[in-house]
Chains A and B, each alone.
Chain A
Amino acid sequence: MNEVLMKVQDLSKHFTIETNFLGKPLSVLKAVDEVSFTIKKGEAFGLVGESGCGKTTLGKILVDLYSPTSGKIFFEGKELSALNKKQRRSYCKDIQMIFQDPYASLNPRMTIGDIIAEPIIINNLLPPSEVEERVIYLLNCVGLARHQRNRYPHEFSGGQRQRVGIARALAVEPKLIVCDEPVSALDVSIQAQVLNLLDDLKAEFGLTYLFIAHGLNVVKHISDRVGVMYLGKLMEIAPKRELYANPLNPYTQALLSAIPIINPEKKKERIILKGDVPSPINPPSGCRFCSRCFKELDRCKLNAPALREVSPDHWVACHLYD
């Protein structure tokens, strides 16, 4: 499990919000700002952060829905970011995505069978005579039945639709699946079903996940390593047990302490952060978190801390550990 599947180097995505009449950018939203990490083959890499931290943007860059402003992406040693559009598209077979909202991610005018067959057909993966058999196989894999093949998405519940979305991603036999909040739109009793399904499929097909979520308990359950994002920056990366037991970055500490614990007897000491997440259009200079940090140092305002390995496999971006 130590082979690197994907390596991301100084990846940035900036959106221009306003330009002057000559087309020169006036204000820029730094959704993802010089992020680096690696995903190992066969692992589930969790990415947590609050809304607007850029985790979804990052996931969408990896599946080529956005092109990065700068930085490099390597997949199995090949630099994806250097490929042209056509070459890049051939990699969609290897990197797939599961979307957050099962109500919006399926074309309402297509039957679920056609939705699952489409990636096989357009990528010419199987001769036409074998496509149908494969569709039925995939439906069974995700716990749906053959007779439902010709139904439309609106006839299904959220959990079932998410299963269709998973089957669509599996259809091209990808190596990496970017799971963008795959359970946050589902009911609690259905979340466990989908999480278990994802776990099973990972073992069965030897998949690697980039698991994006805001629910820290969900990420902890499914991931091997976890990265914490805040305002477009990676704040901390560590194996999950290490991160949850020994969070170093004050933001990670606050985030962990804010999760409600399902045990009313165990009232824990809570770090209530002051204020709101600042706008990513005008992020604080220096460390992005310094406006809300409770352990702020003088230099935090001046320069941004780099992500450094402070103990084996535990990376943190914070001046407290310089």
Chain B
Amino acid sequence: MPKDISTSSDKNSIQAAEYVEKPESQLKEMWATLRQNKAAVVGLFIIGMLTLIAVTVWVSELIGVQILPYDPNYSDMSKSFIWPNAEHWFGTDQLGRDMFSRILDGTKISLFVGVAAVAISLSIGVLLGSIAGYRGGRTDAFIMRVMDVMLAIPSILLAIAFMAALGKGLDKAVIAIGLVSIPEYARIVRGSILSVKENDYVQAAKVIGNGDSRIIFKHILPNIISLIVVRATLGVSSAVLDTAALGFLGLGVQPPFAEWGDMLGRARGFIFTAPYTLIFPGIAITITVLAFNLFGDGLRDALDPKSRIK
């Protein structure tokens, strides 16, 4: 097959054409490709719903309107362990709090933690990875050895260690989870920079007089942005899982705030008597993680120009 299938136009039409074509929209093409992927669309839809729920809950809390069926933190011991029914769709927990309201409320925290943690690890990781990959030599060796050490420790253990140093609490959990996944981003960015750096167009950029920072930001990063975006999307799901794990261990969000992992952890004693107290938070975590994973996979295809549909 020929290497390129380009629109050939003969010389006369070239001379005649005095107009300048509009640049094709890369976003439009991406969306067209993404739409072909059913799983990714489902993922995106779920993410949209979760975001909607989270924002609605958050805004209603701010303006003091209660839109959840019950106050998620109001406990009424007389109503503990009610099995799911028409009044309490997901039942009530050991303290008589409405599970449905708590799960919706938990969406807010899970999404926030996921996005915030990724923002932390992404910004630091991309920066470190870029420096290491572009500079090379000793800088590279030093940065990457530190990253290797961090990778050698199981991430949850490392997060616990950070939590031990920082103290309990939601904000600290976010920082701990963010810090723990820096090496993953740094490695990906460094690896792709190393390969992109060798491309002739990067050399050409040097020859026409570009400075280092312009080369990194204009010529290298745009060419690996897809990798970073995909990794970040998948990163949200692992951050949600890590938050849940910390919550399960009692290190994350502190009571009475509703957080899925924390709910799981506190309900584990009632697995036989009131299994629904575990099942519903479990399902919520699974759905969220799955949605981000499906979307991330679809995004990877959509961002690869080779697999794009015109």
Query: Which of B24, B199, B204 interacts with A168 by CB under 8 Å?
Result: B204
Q: How far is the CA of A171 from the CA of B7 in the complex (A)?
A: 25
* A156 proximity list for chain B (CB < 8 A): 4, 6
B21 & A148 in contact (Cβ 8 Å cutoff) = yes
B207 & A63 in contact (Cβ 8 Å cutoff) = yes
Q: With A92-B208, A155-B6 in contact, is A105–B17 under 8 Å at CB?
A: no
A108 & B305 in contact (Cβ 8 Å cutoff) = yes
B19 & A103 in contact (Cβ 8 Å cutoff) = no
A122 & B208 in contact (Cβ 8 Å cutoff) = yes
Interface string of A113-155 (1 = CB under 8 A from B): 0000011001100000000000000000000111111111011
B208 & A168 in contact (Cβ 8 Å cutoff) = yes
Q: How far is the CA of A158 from the CA of B223 in the complex (A)?
A: 20
Q: For chain B, give the interface size range.
A: 20 to 34
Q: Is A93 an interface residue (CB 8 A)?
A: yes
Q: Is B87 an interface residue (CB 8 A)?
A: no
Least Cβ distance of A179 to chain B in Å? 13
Query: Which of A100, A123, A150 interacts with B22 by CB under 8 Å?
Result: A150
Q: Is A165 an interface residue (CB 8 A)?
A: yes
B20 & A146 in contact (Cβ 8 Å cutoff) = yes
Q: How far is the CA of A60 from the CA of B204 in the complex (A)?
A: 10
* A318 proximity list for chain B (CB < 8 A): none
Q: Is B256 an interface residue (CB 8 A)?
A: no
Q: With A97-B204, A108-B223 in contact, is A103–B3 under 8 Å at CB?
A: yes
Interface residues of A in 41-99 (CB under 8 A from B): 60, 63-65, 89, 92-93, 96-97, 99
Q: How far is the CA of A146 from the CA of B20 in the complex (A)?
A: 6
Q: Is A111 an interface residue (CB 8 A)?
A: yes
A123 & B200 in contact (Cβ 8 Å cutoff) = no
* A157 proximity list for chain B (CB < 8 A): 3-4, 6, 8
* A11 proximity list for chain B (CB < 8 A): none
Interface string of B15-27 (1 = CB under 8 A from A): 1011111111000
Interface residues of B in 195-222 (CB under 8 A from A): 199-201, 203-210, 214, 219, 222
Q: For chain A, give the interface size range.
A: 35 or more
**Complex: chain A residue closest to B214, CB-CB:** A122
* B206 proximity list for chain A (CB < 8 A): 64-65
Q: How far is the CA of A107 from the CA of B222 in the complex (A)?
A: 9
Q: With A145-B17, A147-B21, A160-B6 in contact, is A65–B205 under 8 Å at CB?
A: no
Q: Is A24 an interface residue (CB 8 A)?
A: no
Query: Which of A99, A111, A172 interacts with B203 by CB under 8 Å?
Result: A99
Q: Is A296 an interface residue (CB 8 A)?
A: no
Interface residues of B in 1-39 (CB under 8 A from A): 3-4, 6-9, 14-15, 17-24
B23 & A111 in contact (Cβ 8 Å cutoff) = yes
Q: How far is the CA of A105 from the CA of B8 in the complex (A)?
A: 21
Q: Is A266 an interface residue (CB 8 A)?
A: no
Q: How far is the CA of A42 from the CA of B193 in the complex (A)?
A: 39
* B209 proximity list for chain A (CB < 8 A): 89, 92-93, 119, 122-123, 172
B15 & A96 in contact (Cβ 8 Å cutoff) = no
Query: Which of A92, A108, A111, A158 interacts with B3 by CB under 8 Å?
Result: A158
A104 & B199 in contact (Cβ 8 Å cutoff) = yes
* B19 proximity list for chain A (CB < 8 A): 146-147
Query: Which of B8, B15, B199, B207 interacts with A145 by CB under 8 Å?
Result: B15
Q: How far is the CA of A225 from the CA of B222 in the complex (A)?
A: 42
**Complex: chain B residue closest to A96, CB-CB:** B207
Q: List 12 A-B contacts (CB under 8 A).
A: A65-B207, A97-B207, A99-B200, A118-B210, A122-B208, A145-B15, A145-B17, A147-B18, A147-B21, A165-B204, A168-B204, A172-B209
Residues of A within 8 A of B (CB): 60, 63-65, 89, 92-93, 96-97, 99-101, 103-109, 111, 118-119, 122-123, 144-152, 154-158, 160, 165, 168, 171-172
